[in-house]
Amino acid sequence: MPATSMMTTVHGKWILAGEHAVLRGSPALVFPVQGKAMTLSFTSSERDLSVEFSGEHGDELRLLFWGVIEKALEMTSRTRSVLHGHFQITNSIPVGAGLGASAALCVGLGRWFAWRGWVAESELPEFCRLLENLFHGESSGVDIAVALSGRGLCFIRGGERYAIEPRWQPEWYLSYSGKRGVTSECVARVKALWTRDEVLGKRIDQDMREAVAMAARALQLSSATEGFDLLAEAINKARTCFEHWGLTSGEIGSHVQMLINHGAYAVKPTGSGDGGYVLSLWRKAPPADLSSLLIPLN
């Protein structure tokens, strides 16, 4: 007898280095955010499909849900008339903040389509990536990859990807800049820079590749004593790439400066930039008056 219910949990993500350049074949270092997740539960019935949202950021998925469903139906040559049952979606990942909410939704619904037998498991990564194009314009697949795997990855679009596990535990945190970012607009802005000045575009991508290599090397050193300074240099180098792309002005720039003023050794946007969340690295625990703003990544 076929199963009549399913449940899956997908975590949010943060990127240490590699944003934007990953679209052009550069590597990226990406990790799950264990404290931010979306859980999708489904129960079959004879009734028309219904969905209920809950959680801190549940309602933010309401407008996104049906667009993803319609796209998935189109990709599998089906119509909404075949959908029956009830979804319960609980979400703590903020939408438009660079923590992978759209990828989590695409992976959750992709797994449901696979559970229904409408998508092969082997096709799931590309199926979910194409769904995420709804939000990013062009998805590299990096958010999808970490959402599916649930572990830290060194990701190369269309190429090798492997698990990455730090050998020491950095004192690093995420914090919200106060402004939502729009990934598709940020991607378009970077592409426009390439159109205006391809030489500059290539140089920034090369700087980001170097930041990724430095960060990966730093995390594989045996201790914070050996790896901290190299990791801080990598994070700050990645931030300069965002600055050259023009994605650190306004609220996010002010937030970065606030963290530096409070003692952060290295700070950068994580995600597309121009808003969203910021990664900060500290030599020791940050000041207590910032604790309510910071999400620990330990």
Question: Residue 1 — very low, low, confident or very high, per pLDDT cuts 50/70/90?
Answer: very low
**Sequence-ordered list of residues with C-beta below 8 angstroms from that of 114, at least 6 positions apart, any chain:** 120, 121, 124
214-260: per-residue pLDDT in tens?
Answer: 999 999 998 889 999 999 999 999 999 999 999 999 999 999 999 99
CB-count exposure of residue 4 (10 Å: 0-12, 13-18, 19+): exposed
- Rg (the chain; Cα; Å): 19
Please tell me the number of Cα atoms within 13 Å of 64 on its side-chain side: 25
Q: What is the DSSP letter of 80?
A: G
Residue 201 is encoded by which pair of tokens? 């575009």
158-198: per-residue pLDDT in tens?
Answer: 888 899 999 999 999 999 998 887 788 898 999 999 999 99
Q: 3-state DSSP call for residue 281?
A: strand
Distance of CA 37 to the CA centre of its chain: 12
Percent of the chain with pLDDT over 70: 99
Q: 3-state DSSP call for residue 287?
A: coil
Q: Which domains does the chain have, with CATH numbers?
A: 5-163 (3.30.230.10), 171-296 (3.30.70.890)
Q: What is the DSSP letter of 121?
A: G
Contact 65, 105 (CB under 8 A): yes
Contact 217, 232 (CB under 8 A): no
* pLDDT given for residue 160 in this prediction: 83
- Residue 45, pLDDT > 50, answer yes
